[in-house]
Structure 1
Amino acid sequence: MHSHGRVAEVLDLIVATGADAIDPVEPPPDGDIPLAEVKARYGNRLILFGNMELKYLETETPADIDARVKVMMDEAKAGGGYVLMPTAGPLNIPLAPRTADNYRAFIAAGLKYGVY
């Protein structure tokens, strides 16, 4: 199931359809349910995608991105079923230098914290 934004009220319905995954899981305030809660409630029934908002990749620092990825992996990695990825792709090509640096930091952090 692909659905951006506020999905907390319909997650039970999404699971009831037999969906295998939800993409993306967006953190508040754009979404309305924290990743840890989605994982706790539905992690044994849904593969979870996302949680890295594009706006973070465009505006924050590589250290911020590293810290966010660590939290995401701490919240959702256990037991598998989580795909670390941005919730949207960039529209501006070529990427701004900050965004490019943050994508590199995102990938490096995923490799660092995503090891099982």
Structure 2
Amino acid sequence: MVRKISFPAVKRVVELATAAGMPTHVHSCGPETELVKLMAEETGLTIIDPLEIPPMGDCNLKELKQKYGTKLTLKGNLHTTEVMLKGTVDDVIRESKKCIDDAATGGRFVLSTGDQCGRDTPFENLHAMVETARTYGKY
């Protein structure tokens, strides 16, 4: 469905933006593995997110990095609800480090949430994600 309906338009916008020297970014909630493949193999897209994990998505960050990490920047992968909203600071640090370990090598990775953070997301968890990226995420 994506290939028939929206892909031609997205591909054209990416071409135009790239020709103008502008970076391009696609945000697509839900299962994204096939979309990442399509964008990496058939466009010059700069960055894609949020790379959600199950149950809302289908993304395995480590696999996506191995397959497409030289072609586009991957952004995301911290579970918005289980880690960021309901998790502890230690959970956020652990999962942030896992994402960094899975995708940072070679660059082209931005640690972020698997989608937006809800308004009730603890500030401490947001801070833990940012600080982990700052201290552990140097590569």
Shorter-chain TM-score range: 0.7 to 0.9
The corresponding residue for 1:58 is 85
Which ranges in structure 2 are unaligned for 5 or more consecutive residues?
Answer: 1-25
**What does residue range 20-59 of structure 1 map to in structure 2 within 5 Å?**
20-55=46-81, 56-59=83-86
Structure of greater Rg: 2
Q: How many residues align?
A: 112
**CA distance 1:7–1:115, shift in 2 (3 Å):** same
Shift of 1:28: 2.3
Higher relative contact order (CA 8 A, sep 6+): 1
Q: Is the 8 A contact 2:75 2:110 kept in 1?
A: yes
Which ranges in structure 1 are unaligned for 5 or more consecutive residues?
Answer: none
- Do residues 102 (structure 1) and 128 (structure 2) align? no
What is the TM-score when the length of structure 1 is the normalising length?
Answer: 0.86
Task: Using the TM superposition, name which of 32-41 and 99-108 deviates more.
Answer: 99-108
Q: Is the 8 A contact 2:53 2:114 kept in 1?
A: no
* Identity %, equivalent residues: 34
Regions of 4+ moved over 6 Å:
none
Q: Is the 8 A contact 1:4 1:31 kept in 2?
A: yes
Counterpart among 30, 35, 48 of residue 5 in structure 1:
30
What is the TM-score when the length of structure 2 is the normalising length?
Answer: 0.73
Alpha-carbon separation, structure 2, partners of 1:90 and 1:76: 21
Q: Secondary structure at the match of 1:88?
A: coil
